[in-house]
Amino acid sequence: MKPFDLVLMDEMNRSCPFNILHVCDYNEPYSDLSPFVDYPGHVVNCNPQLTSGKLSWKDIARMFNRPYMGGMDRHGIIGSSTAEEVGKAATEALNAASAPFVLGADCTLPSDIQWDNIRAAVAAAHAFQV
């Protein structure tokens, strides 16, 4: 599958000024992310939870040698808490991140998420001071 992925992604790189490599773990966590490190993409987005443990976002940035997008577990606070709690969690994620970093979920958000929770995460990112 990888050769076909790379042909498609190389074409996207030629056509798009910015794209995100999303390593989807929809069915189950990966045991290793190393098969994806040579995939193109300006920013990498993946779930840090592997079958053997959890990677730090800094480890992921080093592994892929590019900025990462994440910090918010799609199954966690952003989908199940109040906007105030989401704002606090987003600020914690931003404080723990290494620059450059894009605040986001580790995968697609649930379709029934409260829009106020997304707004709270965006507001926290806009208000964040390094």
The model's pLDDT over 93-108, given as tens digits with 9 standing for 90+, comes to: 999 887 788 999 988 8
Structural domain containing residue 78: 2-27+37-127
Domain assignment of residue 32, yes or no: no
- 58 lies in some domain: yes
32-65 exposure pattern, b = at least 16 Cβ within 10 A, e = fewer: ebeebeebbbebbbbbbeeeeeebebeebbebbe
State both tokens at 115.
Answer: 């829009």
Cα 96 to Cα 19, 28, 51, distances in angstroms:
24, 25, 22
The one-letter amino acid code at 90 reads: A
pLDDT one-digit tens code per residue, 36-54: 999 999 999 998 999 999 9
Count: domains in the chain? 1
> 95 lies in a domain?
yes
In a domain, 68, yes or no: yes
Question: Does residue 76 lie in a domain region?
Answer: yes
Residue 116 falls inside a structural domain: yes
Q: So what's the pLDDT on residue 92?
A: 93
Band of pLDDT at residue 67, cut at 50, 70 and 90: very high
In a domain, 102, yes or no: yes
Q: Across the chain, what does the average pLDDT equal?
A: 90
Q: Read off the pTM.
A: 0.83
Q: What are phi and psi of 60, to 5 degrees?
A: -65, -45
Both tokens of 63, joined, read 């592994």
Using one digit for the tens of pLDDT, what is the confidence trace for 1-24?
Answer: 888 988 988 888 888 899 999 998
Asked if the structure places residue 82 within a domain, the reply is yes
Contact 108, 48 (CB under 8 A): no
- R_g over Cα of the chain: 15
